[in-house]
Chain A
Amino acid sequence: MRIEQEIRIRKFNKALIYLVLILLTLICLFPFYLLIVNATRAHSEIQKGFSATFGSFFWTNLKNVLDNKQLPVLRGIVNSFLIAASSALLATYFSALTAFSIHVYDLKLKQFIFSVILLIMMIPNQVYALGFVRWMGTLGLMDSHIPLILPAVSSPVVFYFMLSYMQSNLPLAMIEAARMDGASEFRIFNQMVLPIMKPAIAVQAIFTFVGSWNNYFIPSLIIRTADKKTLPILIAQLRSADYLKFDMGQVYMLIFLAIIPILIIYIFLSKYIVRGVAVGAVKE
């Protein structure tokens, strides 16, 4: 009798849990559903009210957004992509390099350097934004993409991840053996270590790419001319420019373009991304 009761309670609990999970899923997905629906409707349709069904204006809205002279969207996507990809490349390569030097070499200031890098991690980058912007002005780098890409070389968070990964996956003996074989340090790193780091690099490349793609604050202070703008800046422009909201179909379409491509990539790579976050956690 008691066991039957227990089983029933357990089944009931489980059903409740599933309910909660489904609810959470709905809350997560509902905004995107509305986004897609409204991106397919015309301005006048949107003004009329809510609709759960799709409209037929997807291609028209897309065409209008791409043709919009005030919002160089294609340019923005290209810019965002180039900056994000370059940042991902630089961040992963140089973080791995830096982690390699801490892991492999017996340096006098090793502890100190390590602590410094940890400290850097704690500084929010908005705090030195002022000095950053003025200094870029002095260097003649205002309104250029360089200040948005180069700083990726020094990414403490990626470094930390690489170091943790190396500590569990790169035995020093391997390095010693390669040295006996006569390989130069540089070659050892590029040809032996990097391939071993591939999973870590992949995960961190994705995170760095996404982080750079979504970055708004610093780029908004640096970029001035229209065809250098990145997507987040265009979104902000959309928000503040009243005259651009005369066509809400375009508004939703622009948001769609900013969000959906990343989501599609995510759905394909989700296994690795989620695993990557988990791996990072265990290493902490």
Chain B
Amino acid sequence: MNTNSKRKLLLPLLLACSALTVSFQALAEEHEHHHHQHETSSATPDPAAVSTDSIFNITDSWTAADGKAFQLDQLGGKPTVVAMVYTSCQYVCPLTVQNIKRIERALPAAQAGKVNFALFSFDPQRDTPAKLAEFAKLHSITAPSWVLAQGSESAVRKLAVTLGIKYKKVQSGDYEHDATISILDSNGVVKFQSDAMNKNVNDATDALKALLH
């Protein structure tokens, strides 16, 4: 608490000195490591830089169902079908998964392996990696092209805001949320979005195929 209040005092004082940028340049540099760009994964075709309108600019760390750390830029190099779900969800989320699997099945076998399928959980409290693995099993998700991941409340919020997905945690612990399927190109740029409740996945499949040729 002592160092905390000291920092609270120091910070405004420091900010007040912003005219003297030269004097605290050294300090500023020390802080920069928070915002270093992440390198694109080696699978990404263009290793130079993350596209400026890519969701890979979000660098929060997630945890995948296998317990390993996961970052959005690991989806680079292939187009990705993305949705946000939570495993205690009774109706909307299972249907979302079914519709994504419809998209998967609509692809020729040669193409299905060239696509990532990613499910991100709204529910950091209940959706542990083990719970996600159980959910995958329940829905017969076995292909290595699928990833299920959970992250901090702020990582969830940031991804949802980026994808334009509204949601709210209600008192029961459940989530009211938009059900949206998004399709990213291999650079992580959102190219197509549709209502995840729509059983007709032709448009989504076409959008995905257009990214695969």
A and B: interacting chains: no
**Residues of A near any B CB (own CB < 8 A):** none
